[in-house]
């Protein structure tokens, strides 16, 4: 095999209370990664598409590059040319770095005929996240690789369980155009220790999100999503207007709203049989923009994971 092209979806993670453990693949935006084996040595990276100018092409500072370095360490000495076509804006909280890492992991598995399973691919892809987050969190790479709803139920050893995308659930999102926060910054402000009462609260809320995802029940997802008392209260201080956007989402019929990943995107869950997700996203956009934060609004659904588009 000489060349592979892979498409990997955007993801949302945490879903409120499930910090670093819950992830969901979204049919919202995609990164495409093309990888070619070359005669030379080393890894050459080219990035185009949305936010490309903000992404390093030096392999160890690039999420796809870090994944490729890991593969080369394990599977042999090839030269690689990697072209990343960004469809997911970096620094948005929609798993932009994760999608590039996931696509590279899935692509190199095929190119090297390494026969790794999704968990192995997730573990390698999570190493790519160190380039943007400073730590190998696996929630977004797992969602981008497995698709559907995933739970990272252990980090040592890495363990993931995946469920099919929930049906009859819609998501409304607002993605700010002019806030630049890195995941590293958004993690640095988080508490190192947490009160037991807050842990109990978040375990209950996580259980609701999990039940809602498995039962395709947007009401349960919303109830859980709205009840993070550990991360959201701290992180939302980074994003002026967050409370206003959340209130606008709920007032226009959303069942729950929270930061997507590390933010600044805000995601709301909607029962499409009762509420127009389009209307919810419009209300959220108006609320963010009334705080001077220009943004784009979207409606999307859960989807499947990374796909090989071409292998030759
Ligand atoms: N779970 C990670 C975090 C996702 O919240 O920091 C980063 O996008």
Residues 6+ apart with CB under 8 A from 192: none
Ligand 1: lining residues by beta carbon, under 6 Å: 13-14, 19-20, 93, 133, 137, 139-140, 183, 186-187, 261-262
Encode pLDDT of 257-298 as tens digits: 999 999 999 999 999 999 999 999 999 999 999 999 999 999
- Interval 71-77 mean pLDDT: 85
135-139, 186-190, 211-215: range with highest mean pLDDT: 211-215
pLDDT-derived band at 128, boundaries 50, 70, 90: confident
Cβ atoms < 10 Å from Cβ of 82: 25
Using the predicted structure, report yes or no on whether residue 209 has a pLDDT greater than 80. Answer: yes
Alpha-carbon span 127 to 195, nearest angstrom = 30
123 counts as catalytic: no
Which residue's entry shows tokens 């997802």?
221
pLDDT surpasses 80 at 234: yes
Q: Which atom of ligand 1 is nearest to the CA of 93?
A: 8
**Does residue 77 surpass a pLDDT of 80?**
no
Q: Whose CA is nearest to atom 8 of ligand 1?
A: 261
Question: Residue 171: is its pLDDT beyond 80?
Answer: yes
Please report the atom of ligand 1 found closest to the CA of residue 97: 8
Q: What is the overall mean pLDDT for the chain?
A: 95
Pick from 133, 134, 136, 141 the residue to mutate for probing ligand 1's pocket: most ligand atoms within 8 Å of its CB. 133
The three state secondary structure string of 28-78 is EEEEEEEEEEECCCCEEEEEEECCHHHCCCCHHHCHHHHHHHHHHHHHCCC
pLDDT at position 111, please? 95
pLDDT attached to residue 182: 80
- How many angstroms does the Cα of residue 24 sit away from the middle of ligand 1? 12
Task: For residue 143, name the pLDDT band (cuts at 50, 70, 90).
Answer: very high
> Which atom of ligand 1 is the closest one to the Cα of 20?
1
Q: Hey, which of 186, 231, 265 would you mutate to test ligand 1's pocket, going by the most ligand atoms within 8 Å of its Cβ?
A: 186
Residue identifier of the C-alpha nearest atom 1 of ligand 1: 20
The domains of the chain, with CATH numbers, are 3-164+303-311 (3.30.230.10), 170-300 (3.30.70.890)
Is 129 marked active-site?
yes
The catalytic position among 34, 123, 129, 170 is 129
Q: What is the pLDDT of residue 190?
A: 96
Once rounded to an integer, what is the mean pLDDT over residues 1-17? Answer: 97
Percent of the chain with pLDDT over 70: 100
Distance 209 CA to ligand 1 centre (A): 17
Query: 39-48, 129-138, 201-210, 242-251: which range is least confident on average?
Result: 129-138
| Residue 241 pLDDT > 90 | yes
Mutate to test the pocket of ligand 1, among 11, 25, 26, 140 (most ligand atoms within 8 A of CB): 140
pLDDT of residue 130: 83
Average pLDDT rounded to a whole number, residues 239-259 = 97
- What pLDDT does 172 receive? 98
Distance 279 CA to ligand 1 centre (A): 27
pLDDT at 69: 94
Diameter over CA atoms, the chain? 59
Confidence at 223, pLDDT banded by 50, 70, 90: very high
DSSP for 224-242, written as a single string: HHTT--SSHHHHGGGSTTH
Per-residue pLDDT for 178 more than 90? no
Cα–Cα distances in angstroms (integers) from residue 172 to residues 209, 236, 259, 288, 297, in the given order? 17, 18, 12, 13, 7
d(CA 126, CA 97): 10
Distance from residue 231's CA to the centre of ligand 1 (Å): 10
* Selected catalytic residue, list 183, 210, 258, 265: 183
């Amino acid at each position: 095999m000489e060349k592979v092209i892979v498409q990997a979806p955007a993801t949302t993670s945490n879903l409120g209370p499930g910090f670093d453990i819950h992830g969901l693949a979204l049919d919202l935006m995609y990164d495409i990664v093309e990888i070619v084996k070359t005669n030379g040595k080393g890894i050459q990276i080219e990035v185009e598409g949305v936010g490309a100018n903000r992404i390093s092409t030096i392999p160890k500072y690039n999420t796809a590059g870090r994944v490729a370095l890991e593969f080369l360490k394990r599977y042999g000495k090839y030269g690689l040319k990697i072209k990343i076509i960004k469809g997911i804006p970096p620094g948005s909280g929609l798993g932009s770095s994760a999608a590039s890492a996931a696509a590279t992991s899935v692509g190199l598995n095929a190119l090297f005929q390494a026969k790794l399973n999704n968990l192995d691919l997730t573990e390698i892809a999570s190493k790519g996240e160190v380039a943007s987050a400073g730590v190998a969190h696996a929630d977004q790479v797992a969602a981008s690789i497995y698709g559907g709803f995933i739970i990272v139920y252990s980090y040592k050893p890495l363990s993931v369980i995946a469920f099919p995308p929930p049906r009859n659930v819609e998501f409304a999102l607002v993605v700010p155009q002019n806030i630049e926060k890195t995941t590293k910054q958004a993690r640095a402000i988080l508490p190192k220790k947490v009160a037991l009462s807050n842990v109990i609260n978040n375990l209950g809320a996580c259980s609701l999100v999990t039940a809602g995802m498995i039962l395709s029940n947007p009401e349960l997802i919303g109830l859980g999503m709205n009840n993070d008392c550990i991360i959201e209260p701290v992180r939302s201080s980074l994003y002026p207007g967050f409370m206003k956007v959340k209130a606008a989402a709920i007032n226009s019929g959303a069942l729950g709203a929270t930061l997507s990943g590390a933010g600044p995107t805000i995601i709301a869950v909607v029962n499409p049989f009762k509420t127009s997700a389009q209307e919810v996203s419009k209300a959220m956009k108006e609320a963010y923009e009334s705080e001077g934060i220009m943004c784009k609004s979207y409606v999307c659904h859960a989807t499947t994971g990374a796909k090989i588009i071409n292998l030759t």
